A and B are shown apart, each in its own frame.
Chain A
Amino acid sequence: MLKVNRLNALDISWIMLMLITLANALVAETADKSLFITAVICFSIAFKGRRIIDYFMELNHANKTIQLLMRAYFYVFPLLIFLADLFSEQLAVITTT
């Protein structure tokens, strides 16, 4: 029944996720703080999350509500990370009692 020897979606996803993690570690060790770096990291979070959700969790063809909620989580939080960095002073002001 099984006759696939070439790399499949799971293998490719695993390799991509490992490479992105390695790149993130490199950024952690070498890059200086900047909004650009934050944006790149946020994009990598969104990409990794989507890859795991779609291929490892197999939500790419599952129930649409679950799929939407899970995907949304990994759009909203990377965006919030970026916005929290961009508007940190304003956030500090509005959360000061």
Chain B
Amino acid sequence: MPEGKFNRCGMSTTIDNVFHLNGCGQVRHEPETLNKIPGNRAVWVGIFAELTEFALFFLVYFIAKAHYSEQFNQGPLQLNTLAGTLNTFALISSSYFVAKSLASIRLNQPEQSMKWLWRAVMCGGIYLIIKVWEYHWNVDQGIKTNTNEFYTLYYYMTFNHLLHVAWASGSLIWAIFQIKSGRYTQNNHLGLTAIASYWHMVDLAWVIIFPLLYVLR
């Protein structure tokens, strides 16, 4: 195995045409994300459209918080921080598993790639279960969609995000079957890269939602 030149980011081309993938081994095929649009243009149109939608939610949050500061100060205190934290763990872990899956398929390890994807799907499932439990817990505490402006925004934002997790989990399952049927391979897995990018976007949205709703007051 010819040695290559590492950079601090862990992924680089080398003079011997060996590529290092975020420290997850070395491959001789150029990774599809290197200096290119990961996946395809269509998925990035979707990703930016979704991020714009979430951006609008965040702007509404800023304005609503300015007008109903007391509700937004007290609101996070009444929410279930444990549920929010566990969901953040689930989403971050799922993103990690998806990244590992992509690394595995590049290394021509489809079985390993599917295992990582199943773990990611499991995290998506855990997220959905926790969310349902959290909503039930909220109702028991008297927190409903029309309790006040903070909770209206909380339900709107988190339910919208929940839908994204649900259908993105579906896309992960679809990717698993594509690998199983041999359609996604070491040399042809742009679809998996696109699905992975979308999944990471869902995780990124939660990176902002969690502190906005559960931490900041």
Q: A-contacting residues of B (Cβ < 8 Å)?
A: 1, 9-12, 21-28, 31, 33-38, 44, 48, 51, 55, 58-59, 62-63, 65-67, 69, 73, 76, 81-82, 84-85, 88-89, 92-93, 95-96, 98-100, 102-103, 107-109, 196-197, 200, 203-204, 207-208, 210-212, 214-217
Most chain A CB atoms below 10 A, which of B36, B107, B211: B211
In the A-B complex, the 6 residue pairs with the smallest Cβ-Cβ separation, listed nearest first, are A8-B23, A2-B25, A84-B62, A9-B10, A91-B66, A92-B66
* A56-B96, A84-B62 known; A62 vs B38 contact (CB < 8 Å): yes
Most chain A CB atoms below 10 A, which of B26, B55, B84, B99: B99
Q: In the complex, which residues 1-38 of chain A have their Cβ closer than 8 Å to any Cβ of chain B? A: 1-4, 7-11, 13-14, 17-18, 21-22, 24-25, 27-29, 33, 38
* A61-B9, A88-B65, A88-B69 known; A77 vs B55 contact (CB < 8 Å): yes
Q: Which residues of A contact B59 (CB under 8 A)?
A: 80
* A4-B23, A4-B24, A44-B211 known; A62 vs B92 contact (CB < 8 Å): no
Q: Check if B216 sits within 8 Å of A66, measured CB to CB.
A: no
Which of B12, B37, B88, B103 is within 8 Å of A66, CB to CB? B37
Q: B-contacting residues of A (Cβ < 8 Å)?
A: 1-4, 7-11, 13-14, 17-18, 21-22, 24-25, 27-29, 33, 38, 41, 44-45, 48-49, 52-63, 66, 69, 73-74, 77, 80-81, 84-85, 88-89, 91-92, 95-96
Question: A66: shortest Cβ distance to chain B, in Å?
Answer: 6
Q: Check if B36 sits within 8 Å of A63, measured CB to CB.
A: yes
Q: Which residues of A contact B200 (CB under 8 A)?
A: 52-53, 56-57
Q: Which residues of B contact A4 (CB under 8 A)?
A: 23-25
The SS class assigned to the B binding surface is helix
Q: Check if A85 sits within 8 Å of B216, measured CB to CB.
A: yes
Which of A14, A66, A84 is within 8 Å of B65, CB to CB? A84
* A1-B25, A89-B66, A95-B63 known; A63 vs B37 contact (CB < 8 Å): yes
Question: B131: shortest Cβ distance to chain A, in Å?
Answer: 16
The SS class assigned to the A binding surface is helix
* A2-B26, A58-B38 known; A52 vs B211 contact (CB < 8 Å): no
CA distance A57 to B21 in the complex (A): 12
Q: Check if B22 sits within 8 Å of A10, measured CB to CB.
A: yes
Which of B1, B27, B33, B93 is within 8 Å of A61, CB to CB? B33
Q: Which residues of A contact B11 (CB under 8 A)?
A: 9, 58, 60-61
Q: Which residues of A contact B38 (CB under 8 A)?
A: 57-59, 62-63, 66
